[in-house]
Amino acid sequence: MEEKIASLRDVLKEADRVAALTGAGISAESGVPTFRGDEGLWRNYRATDLATPQAFARDPELVWEFYNWRRELISKVTYNPAHRALVELERIVPGFTLITQNVDGLHLLAGSRNLIEIHGNLWKVRCTKCREITLDRSPDMGTSPECKLCGGLLRPHVVWFGESLDPDILQQAIATSKACQVMLVIGTSSVVQPAASLALEAKSGGAVVAEINLESTPHSPFMDFTLHGKAGEIVPKLVENWA
């Protein structure tokens, strides 16, 4: 493992265009629920039943109760060493871009700036009437939050099940993946599309692709590096002894 980490670090040092793709695994190490199995239940509802446009249209107050619960949970956790190491990587690599599937905002909180949040951000709200997007870190938004500009009903600015990703953001993520020389795929199962295809885009563009995950994924066989373990232990080692 240490040899693999050292080899990957050497590859990173030679690159000036690096991308990282992060998933639920990196946040799970901070204590953020992954909403799989028993963690996916809230008052006997499954997250997949409430995080939909149909559920919001039917009962927006119930959906906001669920999101206020999530906000309260996530307000109590913070970024971990893997998040911070990616901030350091952004500092030392000229062309570094972080693409995340996570909506918890921990990358922003840690200090990442060149960031593409393909599934949105739990701490942002979007007006259903005027479409204005604002950041609001209140743990409790109430069950009928209103837009300060037009009075319209606010909704979480996240991509729900059954919704398409913002095409501009998706294209930005694809272009970044195609152009990078190295891609780190961290804490993602590589099964949720279209994010799962970004590593393939990087690979087809000639990039060295490294997977950092607790276990193997469907993409493991074509990875140049596969590092099994906690992101919070592995990623910081990639930015050690850089000079």
**What domains sit in the chain, N to C, each tagged with a CATH number?**
2-32+79-119+165-238 (3.40.50.1220), 33-76+120-158 (3.30.1600.10)
Would you say residue 140 has pLDDT above 80?
A: yes
> Which residues are tagged catalytic?
119
Q: What is the mean pLDDT of residues 166-178?
A: 96
* 7-48 confidence digits (pLDDT tens): 999 999 999 999 999 999 999 999 997 766 555 567 778 888
Mean pLDDT of the chain: 93
User: 122-146 burial by CB neighbour count: b if 16+ within 10 A, else e?
Assistant: bbbbbbeeeeeeeeeeeeeeeeebe
pLDDT above 90 covers what percent of the chain?
A: 84
Paired with 185 in beta bridges are 21, 211
Q: What is the mean pLDDT of residues 122-144?
A: 96
Residue 193 has a pLDDT of 77
Q: How far apart are CA 118 and CA 99, in angstroms?
A: 7
Would you say residue 141 has pLDDT above 70?
A: yes
